[in-house]
Amino acid sequence: MNNAIVYLVGAGPGDPALITLRGVECLQRADVVVYDYLANEQLLNHAPESAERIYAGKIGGRHNQDQEEISRLLIEKAQQGKVVVRLKGGDPFVFGRGGEECEALHEAGIPFEVVPGVTAAIGAAAYAGIPLTHRDFTASVAFVTGQEGKDKDESAIDWDRLSLGGGTVVFYMGVTTLRRNMQRMIQHGRSADTPVALVRWATTVCQQVLTGTIADIADRAEAAGFKPPAITIVGEVVTLREKLRWYDSRPLCGRKIIVTRAAEQAGEFATKLATRGATVLECPTIRLVEPESWQLLDIAIRELPGYDWLILTSVNAVRFFFNRLVALGLDARALAGCKICAVGPKTADAFRGFGVRPDLVPSDYKAEGIVDEFSRLDLKGAKILFPKADKAREIIPCELKRMGAHVDGPVAYRNILPDRLPPEALFALEKRSADCITFTSSSTVQNLAAMLGEELLLDMLKGVTVASIGPITSKSCRELGLRVDIEPEIYTLDALTAAIEAHFS
């Protein structure tokens, strides 16, 4: 039991990016994760695959386990010598019953650590554009349980001070008692015209905000069918929302978008979409691996001084080529006598990262654009090296050979199917909850069809907006029977992101 410890980790209000660095560190060490209803399940991805995951939240509106059972579970797992993470929505010590769990651990002699989280009131207010304090409105804020007094004859809340204090009041989990709580505030002196905001599923793609006054917010909530979980914010600061709202005014807010790029490439594109408000689900349909044999590429690299041109058509090609160059004990100086063609600005940037400036970057990023550029040159007798993916189109070597060049096209990397699709992305496809799916190469769509089956793919993508990076990828989509809704004029991630934004705006 030397390594045994229980970490009470605040998961934050919903957005998985709001967990603390310390919280992530604890999850990465976990042998067991006991998580709540309000803890975003994406956070479980930080835990090792071997970690036991135990759900202790609500099922059908009722708690799966009562508090005493949860405390016993934490103690039992820790006594087995395990590192246990108790992942709690918001902050463990703000209406999270973390104090009770720590008391139980203390009495059992179990070491524990509390990792604070962004509490729901702070997260909900910030993402709704409502500052809880403001020098022109109030210098105080009170956090109150919205469920207090449900089974009591008398409330323990000092309603007089709460109502007459003039500060911002935030009720936790008070939707079901909203009408009663608002009536109490009026009865104890708060103006019926005081602004109120309800924030549901705060900081997530499902966030909803409903505004009104103490007098009418309960009626508005009933008319809108507003359900828990939600935070109630009472105070004049609510009027600032119309000027300060930012989260739900972003162009892709509320949109769920699936990115099918290879895992090592998805991050950049996902970030572009996320900064515009989208919820991004990474669903790699490509796994990039080394060729079955390096022999042909190694021969070509050793003969680099004899080549006139090196053509690389992707960041991946640059990465695999230079990795092999280094593995053979060489560096960028080996390219001194060779001209460089980079297809697309990102590929050109990848070259520059290795200290090499391309001589040619075609304005058209398709294979046809490369052929067009080289058709203006005298290629008779020219020797060209074209390291490529195993499934690359043959138009470049074929056309350049027709122009009189000698072209060597060794395989630099292979494009294979991943072992499986991520459960979260698969769930979104099955439930038809995705708004858009993106394809950035023919392989991304062809591989997804291979993994799901063409018939199932077509069924799952009914009603889902299909975004393709360019005409070649769009052609592959249509060959499978998919309708392409978005295709930018320029075949880059920036252009694709802008086209998706324009489509949904």
Residues identified as active-site: 36, 58, 173
Per DSSP, what are the bridge partners of residue 10?
A: 88
374 Cβ contact partners less than 8 Å away, ≥ 6 residues apart = 341, 399, 400, 403, 405
Per DSSP, what are the bridge partners of residue 212?
A: 196
Separation in Å, CA 338 to CA 328, 334, 341, 343: 18, 9, 10, 16
The alpha carbon of 33 is separated from its chain's Cα centroid by a whole number of angstroms, namely 21
User: Taking the CA atoms of the chain, what radius of gyration do you get in angstroms?
Assistant: 29
What type of residue is 492?
T
Give the C-alpha separation, 368 to 195, whole Å: 61
- Other CB atoms within a 10 A radius of the CB of residue 305 amount to 10
- Other CB atoms within a 10 A radius of the CB of residue 156 amount to 8
Per DSSP, what are the bridge partners of residue 407?
A: 384
135 Cβ contact partners less than 8 Å away, ≥ 6 residues apart = none
Element (H, E) at 444: helix 442-452
Q: Give the position of tokens 């991630």.
A: 493
Element (H, E) at 217: helix 217-224
Give the C-alpha separation, 51 to 33, whole Å: 7
**Counting every residue, how long is the chain?**
505
Burial class (CB in 10 A: 0-12, 13-18, 19+), 249: exposed
Are 19 and 43 in contact by the 8 Å Cβ rule? The answer is: yes
Burial 161-174 (b: 16+ CB within 10 A, else e): ebbebebbbbbbbb
SS3 at position 427: helix
Q: Give the position of tokens 């705060």.
A: 202
